[in-house]
Amino acid sequence: MAYEVTATRRRPQRFEDLVGQEFVADTLRNSLQNNRIAHAYLFTGPRGCGKTSTARILAKALNCQNGPTASPCGQCSACKEITAGSSLDVIEIDGASNNGVNDVRQIKDEVLFPPNSSRYKIYIIDEVHMLSESAFNALLKTIEEPPPYAIFIFATTELQKVPATIKSRCQQFNFRLVPIEKVKEQLAIAA
């Protein structure tokens, strides 16, 4: 068996696994249970508080073969592919290194094609605040009027750098630092 970093092995896989972000998890679960799915989400907060993990869990919840569901099974092919990072319909993009207008134009072109094998085509853009102004402008029309199968999840540590025009078109969730006591509990469990 290959060595796996503890942080990767212990990454939350369900909303119930998120530590210190119960409000965010509960709100997302409720919206899924009530079939109130936004076309764009904006996750904000400090590094390491669970924004990207939550984005992946949300992607599983939306594309799970039992879903959309507040409790993704983790066993179907869609859930397994998302966990492994191999889903063709969940595209993770690093905004720090793909921050130009041409990168966003590629997204705009690709979003026109429906999902390969899932319910939704989900774009997770991490560190979205690193996009250039022209890239944000190119993205604006796509998140204003996305195809019905497209969902965008943006994550940022610097909310003030995200234009108001983008913020106003997203359902925003503010993540907090995980309290030190909860961190200690998780470290004790992992040890």
Residue 183: per-residue pLDDT: 86
Instruction: Give the mean pLDDT of the chain.
Output: 93
Kindly state the helix (H) or strand (E) to which residue 40 belongs, with its residue range.
Answer: strand 40-44
Q: Which of 21, 17, 24 minimizes the C-alpha distance to 178?
A: 21
Looking at 48-57, 97-106, 118-127, which range is the least confident one? Answer: 97-106
The model's confidence at residue 179, banded by pLDDT at 50, 70 and 90, is confident
Q: Which amino acid is at 85?
A: G
pTM of the model: 0.93
Domain boundaries, the chain: 21-190
Is residue 91 helix, strand or coil? strand
Note the pLDDT of residue 188. Answer: 87
CATH class of the 21-190 domain in this structure: alpha beta
Query: Which residue type does 190 have?
Result: A
The string of pLDDT tens digits covering residues 115-146 is 999 999 999 999 999 999 999 999 999 999 99
What are the b/e assignments for 11-40, b being 16+ CB within 10 Å?
ebbbbeebbbbeebbeebbebbeeeebebb
